[in-house]
Every structure is written in structure tokens, then in C-alpha cells.
């Protein structure tokens, strides 16, 4: 069984599915690795580093298993063949996903988003590894756009108060954002509709904003709010948001448009020079004034909605992603380097979204 690593083609995508260290681990397990020329360049990894790790440079689509980061384009699906395996982010919950086309091409596709969030599969959890990157970088972006310091400064020229930072939606990205903002010296507060998150928020030194709404859904995710709950939440947040210099939003509900948490009126209530970083732009955004993928200034508040923050830190994002992908492959490998997926294993069965021309996503 051989593995191919493609050169990503999505605009702005700089990550690569395997880094040389992980190539060496696969080669050590009798798995030949074929890397497309220039596949690592976005992450500043030259072809020679892959060769030194035991890979060959060639056509990744000639391999038995094709590895990638971003979902494939139609042209890339056209290069896949019947019976070939594919592992990557395939956005199975997005309405415009390519699962149907992969099925039509007879590809056995594994979507890393579909790996269950259970303890045993944590090492394969690419959603979490990349959300950590997004959460960290969202704070760096906020600090860059802010007209004010994050830390408290006591100087001969006077004392500067610390920035107040509110994170709305405290999953993996939100928790990392809170921890990063704290390390930068901000005064942090977290809010989520899952009450169990309060303890995690406090564990990273942040205050918990309690609005009295419990919308814990299935599998550790949130459910969508009712109209009454949404109105109550928006009003309460409108009042709370005024007091913050920075608001970072990461709220998502699986398979649904992003919940609207920050209204135009809430933005208008913020101090001039404040910043909103909206990580939910891909599903419409958590802020009413968000323009997905763009940075806009409204009422003297900067609102930015970067769409692929992990791609802006391609070195570490690729390193973490590669380890996730390796762990998934390793779960399916036998001692001779053959891929033998066990579909009675819930991790394998959940991750596999097309098989024998069937769609299970």
C-alpha cells in the first residue's frame, strides 16, 4: 500500500498533509510515500526534505491512498480512480460538499471531520488540532488590529489598563483564544450556551459570563436556540459587549448557519478602536456586520472574518494535521504495511463517508 501527498490548490491553502518527520514514520511501517513536486512549499518544506525522509517525488494520484488537507476541486476528483482511498477535510456537513462526486468516482473517502470526538480518537482529531491554531491566531489578529495594548502597562508616562477580551463560543478554538489572550495580558471572559464549559473557562483564568441559557445538544455540541432564547441572548450580549475592547466569536452548531450573537447595535455600542474577530465566517458569521473573508470598519470598530487561519500558520498546522492523519492510517494498517480498514470500529466507520459507491455522510 502506498500513500500520495498532493500539492494543495485551494486559494491561500499553505498546509501540507504530511511533514517529513511523519513521512519517515510511515516509511518505517513499510508504507512507500509519493509526494507531489512542491507539495510542501507553502509550509516552507523543500522537496529534498521529503526525499531525505524516505519519500519519492512523483504523481501522488498513482498511490493507493491520497492524502490532502482542503477538500478536492472537481479537477482533482477527476484524477482519482475507482477503488482509490482519500483522506482529508471533505466538509461533509457543507451543502456544497463533494461527497456525491467522490461516490460517483468510486472513491473510498475518509473525512477527518467525521472522526468521532471520543477519547481514543483524540490523537486523530484534526478539527481540534486546527481549531487550536485558529484560536491562538485569532488573538494575534485581534492584537494586531486593535488600537490599544493587551497587557496592563505601568510606565513613567502613565498606566495603561489591560484590554478586556470576550470570547463567545468556547469549544476548542474559544478555549485556546481565552488562554492566548490571557498570556498576552488581557482580562478575559468566556461565554457559551453549554453550562459545562464554565469550569473550563475558569481553568484558563477567565471569567464566565452567565446568561442563564442552557442549549447543550447531542455529542457535546450545542443545539440551535429557540427564537425566544435567541432574542434573550442577543439583548443580554448587546448590553455585555459594550464593556469589551475585543470580542472573538467561534460559535457553531453542527450543520446549521452560525448563530447571530453580535448585532449591529452591539457593535455600535462598542468603544471606537475595538475589534471583533469572527471565526464563524464560513457558515455566515456570528456578527451581523461580518463580511466573510474580509476586514471592515463599522462605527469605528474593526470587524474581521478570516476564513482559514490554520493556513496562515502552515508549519505547525501541518505538523499537527500530519500526526492526526498518521494516527488514522496507523489504526487501519497491518504489520505488512497494508491498509485493512475494520468497519466494525466506530472510528473507521464514522470517518468513512463513501464506500463501495455508498454515501454514509
Asked if residue 245 binds ligand NAD (CB under 6 A), the reply is no
**Does 86 participate in binding ligand NAD (rule CB under 6 A)?**
no
Residue among 34 and 246 whose Cβ is closer to ligand NAD: 246
89 phi, psi to nearest 5 deg: -75, 120
* 148: annotated active-site residue: no
Name the residue number minimizing CB distance to ligand NAD. 171
Q: Which is nearer to ligand NAD, 174 or 314 (CB)?
A: 174
Paired with 5 in beta bridges are 35, 67
Torsion sign (Cα): 166, 172, 175, 179: negative
Q: 247 — phi, psi (to 5°)?
A: -125, 125
* By the rule CB under 6 A, 206 interacts with ligand NAD: no
Q: Does 94 bind ligand NAD (CB under 6 A)?
A: no
Binder of ligand NAD out of 225, 248, 270, 347 (CB under 6 A): 225
Q: Which is nearer to ligand NAD, 48 or 122 (CB)?
A: 122
Q: Is 221 in the active site?
A: yes
Closest approach, Cβ 268 to ligand NAD, in A, equals 20
Residue 127 in contact with ligand NAD, rule: CB under 6 A: yes
Instruction: Give the whole-angstrom CA distance, residue 312 versus residue 112.
Output: 20
117 is catalytic: yes
Return the ∠ at Cα 238 (arms to 237 and 240), rounded to 5°.
Answer: 60
What are the start-end ranges of the E strands in 95-245? Answer: 108-111, 153-155, 158-160, 164-168, 187-191, 207-208
Select the residue interacting with ligand NAD from 74, 82, 96, 119 (CB under 6 A).
119
Question: Of the two residues 16 and 261, which places its CB atom closer to ligand NAD in the complex?
Answer: 261
31 binds ligand NAD (CB under 6 A): no
Establish if 256 lies at the interface with ligand NAD (CB under 6 A): no
CB of 191 to ligand NAD, least distance (A): 6
Angle at 18 between CA 15 and CA 19, to 5 degrees: 85
Given the residues 48, 73, 122, 357, select the one marked as catalytic.
Answer: 122
Which candidate in 25, 125, 194, 233 is catalytic? 125
The CA-atom distances, in angstroms, between 244 and each of 190, 269, 271 are 12, 10, 8
In sequence order, the 6+-apart residues with CB closer than 8 A to the CB of 8 are 14, 15, 16, 39, 42, 68, 69, 70
Please choose, from the candidates 54, 75, 89, 69, the residue with its C-alpha nearest in 3D space to the C-alpha of residue 6: 69
Binding site for ligand NAD (CB under 6 A): 117-119, 122, 125, 127-128, 131, 168-174, 192-194, 197, 220-222, 225, 250-253, 259, 261
Mind telling me the catalytic residues? 117, 122, 125, 128, 221
Amino acid at each position: 500500500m502506498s500513500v500520495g501527498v498532493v500539492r494543495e490548490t485551494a486559494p491561500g491553502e499553505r498546509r501540507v498533509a504530511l511533514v517529513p518527520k511523519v513521512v519517515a514514520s510511515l516509511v518505517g511501517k513499510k508504507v512507500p510515500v509519493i509526494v507531489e513536486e512542491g507539495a510542501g512549499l507553502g509550509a516552507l518544506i523543500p522537496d529534498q526534505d521529503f526525499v531525505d525522509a524516505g519519500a519519492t517525488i512523483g504523481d501522488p494520484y498513482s498511490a493507493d491512498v491520497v492524502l490532502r488537507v482542503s477538500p478536492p476541486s472537481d479537477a482533482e476528483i477527476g484524477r482519482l480512480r475507482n477503488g482509490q482511498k482519500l483522506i482529508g477535510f471533505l466538509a461533509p456537513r457543507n451543502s456544497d460538499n463533494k461527497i456525491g462526486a467522490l461516490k460517483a468516482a468510486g472513491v473510498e473517502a475518509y473525512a477527518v471531520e467525521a472522526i468521532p470526538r471520543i477519547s481514543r480518537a483524540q490523537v486523530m482529531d484534526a478539527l481540534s488540532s486546527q481549531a487550536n491554531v485558529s484560536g491562538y491566531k485569532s488573538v494575534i489578529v485581534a492584537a494586531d488590529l486593535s488600537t490599544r495594548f493587551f497587557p496592563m502597562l505601568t510606565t513613567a508616562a502613565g498606566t495603561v489598563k489591560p484590554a478586556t477580551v470576550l470570547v463567545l463560543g468556547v469549544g476548542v478554538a474559544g478555549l485556546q483564544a481565552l488562554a492566548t489572550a490571557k498570556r498576552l495580558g488581557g482580562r478575559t471572559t468566556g461565554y457559551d450556551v453549554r453550562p459545562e464549559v464554565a469550569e473550563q473557562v475558569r481553568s484558563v483564568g477567565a471569567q464566565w459570563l452567565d446568561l442563564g441559557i442552557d442549549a447543550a445538544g447531542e455529542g457535546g455540541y450545542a443545539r440551535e436556540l429557540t427564537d425566544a432564547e435567541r432574542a434573550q441572548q442577543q439583548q443580554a450580549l448587546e448590553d455585555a459587549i459594550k464593556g469589551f475592547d475585543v470580542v472573538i466569536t467561534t460559535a457553531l452548531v453542527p450543520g446549521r448557519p452560525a448563530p447571530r450573537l453580535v448585532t449591529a447595535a452591539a457593535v455600535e455600542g462598542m468603544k471606537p478602536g475595538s475589534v471583533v474577530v469572527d471565526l464563524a465566517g464560513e457558515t455566515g458569521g456570528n456578527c451581523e456586520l461580518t463580511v466573510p473573508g474580509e476586514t471592515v470598519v463599522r462605527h469605528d470598530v474593526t470587524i474581521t472574518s478570516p476564513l482559514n487561519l490554520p493556513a496562515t500558520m502552515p508549519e505547525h498546522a501541518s505538523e499537527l494535521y500530519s500526526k492526526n492523519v498518521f494516527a488514522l492510517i496507523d489504526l487501519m494498517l497491518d504489520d505488512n504495511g497494508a491498509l485493512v480498514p475494520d468497519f466494525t470500529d466506530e472510528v473507521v466507520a464514522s470517518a468513512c463517508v463513501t464506500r463501495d459507491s455508498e454515501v454514509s455522510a
